[in-house]
Amino acid sequence: MMEKQALPASSCSLVLLEETKKSPITLSNGGGGSGYAPAAANGSLVPLTVAGTGVAGGVVGTACVGQDKKGGVVNGAGPGYQERETWTRQMDFIMSCVGFAVGLGNVWRFPYLCYKNGGGVFLIPYLLIVFVGGIPIFFLEISLGQFMKAGSINVWNIAPLFKGLGYASMVIVFFCNTYYIMVLAWGFYYLIKSFTATLPWSSCNNEWNTPSCIEIFHHQDCKNASFANITIGSSNMTCADLADARSPIIEFWENKVLNISSGLDEPGKMNWELILCLMAVWVLVYFCVWKGVKSTGKIVYFTATFPYVVLIILLVRGVTLPGAYDGIMYYIKPNWSKLEEAQVWIDAGTQIFFSYAIGLGALTALGSYNRFNNDCYKDAFILALINSGTSFFAGFVVFSILGFMAAEQGVDISQVAESGPGLAFIAYPKAVSLMPVAPLWAALFFFMLLLLGLDSQFVGVEGFVTGILDLFPGKHYHRYKREIAVAICCLLCFIIDLSMVTQGGMYVFQLFDYYSASGMTLLWQAFWECIVVAWVYGADRFMDDVARMIGYRPFPWMKWCWSFITPCVCIGIFLFHLVNYKPLTYNNVYVYPWWGEVIGWCLALSSMLCIPVSLLYKLFRAKGTFKEVSASSPWTTRGDTCYPSNSGKYTLNE
């Protein structure tokens, strides 16, 4: 059975420490005057707390929380308020975080960046930014959710002026949920097409192929320029024609799967096969999420672990193929001169924020279902090790296959190395088509691809729905509230996705991918998270809060990162992206029209502006002069919330 715990969902930053059964902890100066009472009879530290606006799924009533005369805890639970669920086992949380953070980017983006940026040398900037940016923010988001027992919006009640951070993360994760699932729909389509005796992308004898299609390119026969007019192979093509030739896998991808139009201004007709695949994937996501962590926490045991089984199988197969050694050496061979290039460091930082799923609010939602005294500090390091280790391991799988593909075609590995959808739907399908028993390896790969994306998708939906439900107090309880909310979310995203299954759908997909959840939006979000926690709420105060949860103070490095190092890293990479901004293109050929870029920037600014707009709105709505508002505690808000009084206790701000 799912364990439950009654915790007050305070609109200030304190949470009843009902599970902390450890000895009292010596607080830093930053924790002075926090209003914490002495240890209760059961050994737990009990803050004098006011339960304000409730949190759906885990709230108690709107009354002060403290100790009664007998030393027991008075939680002020009112009628009609639902208790917040917790994970049945802590491993449920670990597997959910692994499933969410370890996704397609680990397999199709990191290996490409590694070979492109100096091979093994790339690990130096990568690991450095892991420790100064990735782990500190990863830990911050999980611990904040665990401490506040709330989703990505209500956790920012610790600093109500900056609650726009929560709304920004909700916008970003909504956009991610909308476009990311298209990769799953494409993968599901390829998986279905893999169950044939002959893979449909392995030959040029199909209705979608053009006269320019050629199965074997014979590049080695055209290295000497004097043979430019010699006919090669059985395709009646000369070496001069070879430059315009297209492989069957590219034609299958562009002519059959996408049926791509000439531009964003030509949406064309819908692909009914892709619509069915999209619908099937969304139905699958719905039934993974609709019961909350009770269902999610169990499903991820399969979706998060089975891809590792497939990766190991593919690695064993890959290293036995001719050319695999050359591919692996191409992947890890160090090029020390690359460390002098700024782009290498920027790529490392951007990859960290992508692969660690930072700034989306889903990690906060997952952490909110932890028991209060869970050691989230240790969990953050374990999850970071799994995430980065998976990325590095996947590179051996990918480049052993690409080495074989390059050897078969007689070309350099750089000509077959791809990143993103190009690797998943062009390079790798081409490689498996050259293997014996090709349909088996194709089915395995696309099944792994589907699982890698599926758990990231449904945990993202879980994070979004948790944030929405937390906006409604428990008194608005409805028996099927979660199921209805998940259904509305899935249906809304599905309707938007219909624009991506048209002939111009790839152009729409790239707009979402390039702008809505780009490096700039995530870096902007991460920067403000650090600033608000470290400088508005107080780094020392939050370190004390963490210590109350886990029983010891984390290494001061975390505080230094939140206060100085990580914000500098985030804003530095952000400014680099801004200065070196390049307009979006498709295949480096099609340039998006000006109005397409306007739509893209609207997607980006829709999340980035949430923070300053919300801040200004609250300032203008507040009563009193600007000096009075700015001089007040960051916890002070209008309405039924709490604020620190002169006595150090917490009182209602009526």
Q: What residues are designated binding site for Na(+)?
A: 99, 101-102, 106, 355, 387, 452, 455-456
Backbone angles phi, psi at 500, to 5 degrees: -100, 0
Q: Which amino acid is at 231?
A: T
Tokens 């799967």 sit on residue: 257
First to last CA, the chain: 40
Q: Which amino acid is at 493?
A: C
Which residues have a Cβ under 8 Å from the Cβ of 8 and sit 6 or more positions away? 15, 16, 49, 51, 59, 60, 65, 75, 76
Write out the E strands in 13-106: 36-39, 45-47, 49-50, 64-67, 73-74, 84-85
- Check if the beta carbon of residue 119 is closer than 8 Å to that of residue 110: no
- Check if the beta carbon of residue 73 is closer than 8 Å to that of residue 40: yes
Q: Which residues are annotated as a binding site?
A: 99, 101-102, 106, 355, 387, 452, 455-456
User: What is the chain's length?
Assistant: 654
Q: Which amino acid is at 84?
A: R
The CA distances from residue 204 to 235, 242, 456, in Å, are 11, 15, 35
CA nearest 548: which of 13, 6, 27, 7? Answer: 27
Query: How many other C-beta atoms are found inside a 10 Å radius of the C-beta of residue 148?
Result: 26
Which residues have a Cβ under 8 Å from the Cβ of 123 and sit 6 or more positions away? 114, 392
